[in-house]
Amino acid sequence: MKSLRRFLTRLFNTATMRAQEERLREEIAEHIALQTAENLRAGLSSVEARRQAMLKFGGVEAMKQDFRAERSLLFIENLLGDLRNAGRSISRMPGLAAVIILSLAIGIGVNTTIFSWIQMILFQPMPAVHGAANFLMVEPRSETGGYPGASWLEYRDLQTQVPALRDIVASQMVPFNVGRPGQTERTHGQLVSGNYFSALGLKPVVGRFIRPEEAERPGTEPVIVISYDYWQTRFRGAPEAVGQKLRVNDRDLIVIGVAPREFQGTMVPLKFELWAPATMAPALLGGTRDIEDRGSRAFSLIGMLKPGATPQEAQAEFSTAMAQLARDYPDASAGIGGEILPFWSTPRGPQRLLISGLVILQGVMLLLLLAVCGNTANLMLARGSTRQREMAVRVALGAGRWRIVSLVLSENMLLALLGAGLGAAFAVWGTTALRIAPMIGAFPILFPTRVDAFTLVFAILLGTACGLIFSAAPAVHLARLDPQDGLRSSSNTPPRSRARKVLMGVEVGLAMVVLIAAALFLQSFRLASQSDPRFRPDGVLLAAYDLSGRNPDEASDREFAARLLERLRSLPDVEAAAIATNVPVDLHGIPHRSFTLQGRVRTEPGQDRAISNTVTPGYFKVMAIPLLEGNDFAEMRDKAAPAQAIVNEEFVRRYLDGADAIGHRIQTRTQSFAIIAVARNSAYDALGEPAQPAIYFSYRDRPQDQGEIHLRTRSGNETALTSEARAVLRDLDPMLPLYDVRTFSQHIERNLYLRRIPARMFAVLGPLLLGLAAIGIYAVVSYAVARRTREIGVRLAFGATSGRVVLQIICENLGGITWGAAIGWVLALVISLRLIAKGAVNFPVFIGVPAILLCVAALACWIPARRASRIDPMAALRHE
Amino acid sequence: MKQKADVLQGTLALMVLKTLDVLGPLHGYGIARRIEQISGDLLAVNQGTLYPVLLKLEQEGAIASAWGASENNRRARFYRLTRDGRKQLQAETKDWEQTAAIIARFFEAKAENLS
């Protein structure tokens, strides 16, 4: 207690230093005055009386020191002094400080932005939901490795059969058409189990949430919860929104509550606006049997572990439950097991894909930051050496090693933390830029990234780590300083500069790795965005429709598509029209399908797989993909022709060994198809990808209730077709909206968006890093040259040409740089061979980048060397 | 050397407390005089060392200080014992007497008495 009290008083005293000092001064004066008066009374002369009094009191300064040490916390006082000192010395080098702070800020800002993204996916995957990262995916898993989802009845069984999980939540993503006939609007929502909101721990902003009993019996409770954004935009945030009717999929639903502000559903980054009880599925989805049919696996399940339970227990219970279900309902559940997955590795959505890309990006950017640290260390070391004498004086006057180290450290830490602060500001800007990313694909996507306390801590830790890294070399260097040496040596003796050369090499090596990574990425990005997709995207308009709310069957789906195509083809500006289930180069990819090819014997285990797309006749004309053999699919209303399939060249090469494909039969799980034509290869998942085998099925054989309309315009202005296409669809069905209307070029552009972010980062950071490396080398060389002014003067006086001097300086410095560059180059080569190219070396990059880097390095050496060689020998010899 | 200083400081603190206990509120010079009178040469030189001790005691709450007027009518800092300080003094006096008694007995002890 007593020591705590003293500590607090001392802390307080540190703050009120000046007043205390004044008090002590006064007390001493009074003490001595009283003693002098006493001595006078004893008969001493006035001068002697005062002298004796002073003697008796003892050393005033030593006492003051004691007093100060007693009074306040010495280390805080020292720290404040150091910081003041650091501030002063930083303000003496504004240019250098600006370079250091800015480069650190960029490095830290980029890293923090990427980290905020990663931590969003890993730790805060659902905004507004506390502890969202603790949720687990409860995924039924088929024998072939797919995740088909769970049926509603299965969900009801699992709720009680996996006791290690509490509150398993079921949700199904559904498109809703909201509004009156003729002016419907497509919105995405989720059909959810009754415990959805309570299990997520959410509180309604207004109204209430769905009650468990409202998701018990089919179709009884026409209620709906709306998102905060939807409430703000459609109801202007009025509390009266609760209780109003909303026309959804041609049914009136009553708004009962508003979800919390940030909440966007359980499939982030997808952003949902509406939530209805799962038992409304038959009413909203046109008589779907989703909630009574065990074969309809439409729901995705998540659950949280009970306290004390482990994922292994949950996995064991889940597997047992699924095995039991497979025995009880062999029709629907045979061969379906189960897997408990961490939330971020959900098989739906782009998380899994993103996280691996982001981790690599983070790794590269951390290397970049390390290179920046190396650069800063070098600059500080060069500067530190010019302060040798100052430090020597300090040591000579009694400063301990630790005082010197803490002096250097505080200066560097101040720089690093300023950099981290600015970096955090950059990160705030960067994450905001990510948030306002445009909608990608048919689904509304919002990345809920933000800079929160966690991210800020990361930025500060990063700053501290940087500070420590680039303080180490200068601090050790100065602390080892022998004061005698430091004072004696004039600045003309060349110091040992191995540390600097090594650092320079390390920095250049790191820069090499990062620059090569950047160049490789940029090149692949450019190749991808410029590569020929082998179909013609310009002049094509895309738009989607969805009949799933119409209670469709195969015949009505087929008839609708046939009529739609007839009407569209009759438009004067339409050259060709087709419908397909998938659009190439989509962010979500195109499904692969397994099949068996008649007459082919597989040598390895597993199944043959190919890209599959279901298209109407005319598709190849719209896409401008030539058919190399055979003819297009039979007309939509043709009832006579057998089931048909068209394959691509790669399919023929891989599975038929280039033999004549036409006439072969493809067997899928349900149907058999005859190959009638071979199409040229084109891009499917991404531009510039290696050729993939693909099968096209006909819409006639496999009608779908959803479709992407492809229209090729005659005039070249595809956007002009939008209103005509809308009118056609409205004529056919006034309640059906045309959504996700975009040109094919826009579609491709949108899907390149995610790759464009790192591409932009690299495009900006690459040159920046090159510039930093140049500044670092320049500073070191010009410092080293300045220290050798006399030596250079002697050489010149003895007749050396300035060219020779310049050459010698460049060669000396380029040695270390070349070593570093070579090591970095080899490292980058190994990484690229192992990870990316798998055998192929990108020669332009691996030769170009080192060439540029070494040229810049040579230039950075040349400028100071040339300046040094131009001095007048006489002036150099007189120097100092 | 450090130990010696500590011992000195410890005893000095006890002396300060006792002085204030006996004489009531006093300024620094008064305390120094009083200790000098009683202890002889301990504070004959380096009277200044008193002030860090006073500060320490004040931070611990054993004494309190306030401005007042000295004999020659100038501003001086007067120190007085607090309730905590009185308790501390009692406890330390007891400790000190015990220690002194033990040491005294130890020095009086003869070899034959210990066998």
Query: With contact defined as beta carbons under 8 Å apart, do A654 and A686 qualify?
Result: no
- The distance of A480 to chain B (nearest Cα, Å) reads 29
Q: What is the pLDDT of residue A441?
A: 52
Q: What is the pLDDT of residue A148?
A: 76
Q: Could you say which of B48, B56, B75 has the minimum Cβ distance to residue A26? A: B75
Rounded average pLDDT over A439-452: 67
CB atoms near residue A140 (< 10 Å): 25
Query: What is the domain count for chain B?
Result: 1
- A73 contact B CB<8A: no
Least confident of A4-13, A451-460, A733-742, A865-874: A4-13
Q: What is the pLDDT of residue A74?
A: 64
- The distance of B53 to chain A (nearest Cα, Å) reads 8
Interface test with A, best of B12, B34, B59 (most A CBs within 10 A): B59
Token pair for residue A707? 């479709």
Handedness of CA B31, B37, B39, B41 (dihedral sign): positive
Half-sphere exposure of A716 (CA within 13 A, CB side): 0
Q: Per-residue pLDDT for A45 more than 60? A: yes
Q: What is the 3-state secondary structure (H, E, C) of A613-670?
A: EEECCCHHHHHCCCEEEECCCCCCCCCCCCCEEEEEHHHHHHHCCCCCCCCCEEECCC
Q: Do A28 and B51 touch (CB under 8 A)?
A: yes
Residues of A in contact with B77 (CB under 8 A): 23, 26-27, 30
DSSP assignments along A394-432, one per residue? HHHTT--HHHHHHHHHHHHHHHHHHHHHHHHHHHHHHHH
Token pair for residue A236? 């202007």
Q: Do A34 and B72 touch (CB under 8 A)?
A: yes
Query: With contact defined as beta carbons under 8 Å apart, do A581 and A656 qualify?
Result: no
The residue range of the domain holding B27 is: 2-114
d(CA A678, CA A696): 10
Residue with tokens 């001064």: A25
Q: Could you say which of B47, B55, B70 has the minimum Cβ distance to residue A30? A: B70
Rounded average pLDDT over A456-482: 83
Q: Do A30 and B47 touch (CB under 8 A)?
A: no
Q: Do A27 and B61 touch (CB under 8 A)?
A: no
Q: Do B52 and A70 touch (CB under 8 A)?
A: yes
Q: Per-residue pLDDT for A619 more than 90? A: yes
Rounded average pLDDT over A180-186: 74
For helices A74-91 and A60-71, give the axis angle rounded to 10 degrees. Answer: 100
Query: With contact defined as beta carbons under 8 Å apart, do A427 and A455 qualify?
Result: yes
Instruction: Compare all CA atoms of chain A with the CA of B66 and give the residue at the minimum distance.
Output: A23
Q: Could you say which of A27, A59, A70 has the minimum Cβ distance to residue B77? A: A27
Q: Could you say which of A26, A33, A67 has the minimum Cβ distance to residue B55? A: A67
Give yes or no for a cis peptide into A438 (omega within 30° of 0): no
Q: What is the 3-state secondary structure (H, E, C) of A320-373?
A: HHHHHHHHHCHHHHCCEEEEEEEHHHCCCCCHHHHHHHHHHHHHHHHHHHHHHH
Amino acid at A136: L
Rounded average pLDDT over A263-290: 81
Q: Do A33 and B74 touch (CB under 8 A)?
A: yes
Least confident of A392-396, A446-450, A704-708: A446-450
**Which of A467-481, A499-513, B35-49 shows the highest mean pLDDT?**
A499-513
Token pair for residue A168? 């398993």
Amino acid at A58: G
d(CA B98, CA B16): 20
Instruction: Compare all CA atoms of chain B with the CA of A10 and give the residue at the minimum distance.
Output: B59
- The distance of B60 to chain A (nearest Cα, Å) reads 6
d(CA B10, CA B21): 17
d(CA A234, CA A643): 47
Query: With contact defined as beta carbons under 8 Å apart, do A376 and A507 qualify?
Result: no
Q: What is the pLDDT of residue A197?
A: 92
Q: Do B48 and A10 touch (CB under 8 A)?
A: no
- The distance of A56 to chain B (nearest Cα, Å) reads 5
Token pair for residue A531? 């590569």
Q: Per-residue pLDDT for A740 more than 50? A: yes
d(CA A240, CA B76): 74
Rounded average pLDDT over A35-58: 85
Q: Do B48 and A60 touch (CB under 8 A)?
A: yes
- A19 contact B CB<8A: no
- A213 contact B CB<8A: no
Residues of B in contact with A31 (CB under 8 A): 27-29, 32, 47
Q: What is the 3-state secondary structure (H, E, C) of A161-211?
A: HCCCEEEEEEEEEEEEEECCCCCCEEEEEEEECCCHHHHCCCCCCEECCCC
Q: What is the pLDDT of residue A822?
A: 93
Token pair for residue A641? 């022709």
pLDDT digits (tens, 9 = 90+) for A570-586: 998 999 999 999 898 87
Q: Do A58 and B29 touch (CB under 8 A)?
A: no
Token pair for residue A702? 């496999």
d(CA A269, CA A124): 11
- The distance of A71 to chain B (nearest Cα, Å) reads 7
Query: With contact defined as beta carbons under 8 Å apart, do A288 and A140 qualify?
Result: no
- A35 contact B CB<8A: yes
Question: Between vectors from CA A735 to CA A733 and to CA A738, what angle results, nearest 5°?
Answer: 80
Inter-chain contacts counted by CB atoms under 8 A, chains A and B:
78
- pTM (two decimals): 0.68
Q: Do A67 and B51 touch (CB under 8 A)?
A: yes
Q: Could you say which of B49, B59, B74 has the minimum Cβ distance to residue A63? A: B49
Q: Could you say which of A27, A34, A37 has the minimum Cβ distance to residue B51? A: A27
Kindly indicate whether the ipTM for this predicted assembly is greater than 0.95, answering yes or no. Answer: no
Interface test with A, best of B37, B55, B70, B82 (most A CBs within 10 A): B55
Residues A708-744: b if buried by 16+ CB within 10 A, e if exposed:
bbbbbbeeeebeebbebbeebbbeeeebbbbbbbbbb
Q: What is the percent of chain A where pLDDT is above 70?
A: 88
Phi, psi of A545 (to 5 degrees): -135, 165
Q: What is the pLDDT of residue A5?
A: 67
Q: Do B45 and A5 touch (CB under 8 A)?
A: no
Cα A522 to Cα A600, A828, A845: the distances in Å are 42, 15, 10
Token pair for residue B21? 């206990």
pLDDT digits (tens, 9 = 90+) for A350-361: 666 677 778 888
DSSP assignments along A752-800, one per residue? HHHHHHHHHHHHHHHHHHHHHHHHHHHHHHHHHHHHTHHHHHHHHHTT-
Rounded average pLDDT over A303-317: 89
Q: Do B29 and A2 touch (CB under 8 A)?
A: no
Chain B interface with A: residues with Cβ < 8 Å: 27-29, 32-33, 44-49, 51-52, 55-56, 59-61, 70-72, 74-77
Q: Do A58 and B46 touch (CB under 8 A)?
A: yes
Q: Do A71 and B55 touch (CB under 8 A)?
A: yes
Instruction: Compare all CA atoms of chain A with the CA of B31 and give the residue at the minimum distance.
Output: A31
Q: Per-residue pLDDT for A326 more than 60? A: yes
Task: Check residues A383 and B14 and name the one with the higher pLDDT.
Answer: B14
Least confident of A35-49, A92-106, B3-17, B65-79: B3-17
Q: Per-residue pLDDT for A439 more than 70? A: no
Query: Residue B56's domain is classified under what CATH number?
Result: 1.10.10.10
Three-state DSSP at A107 gives: helix
- A841 contact B CB<8A: no
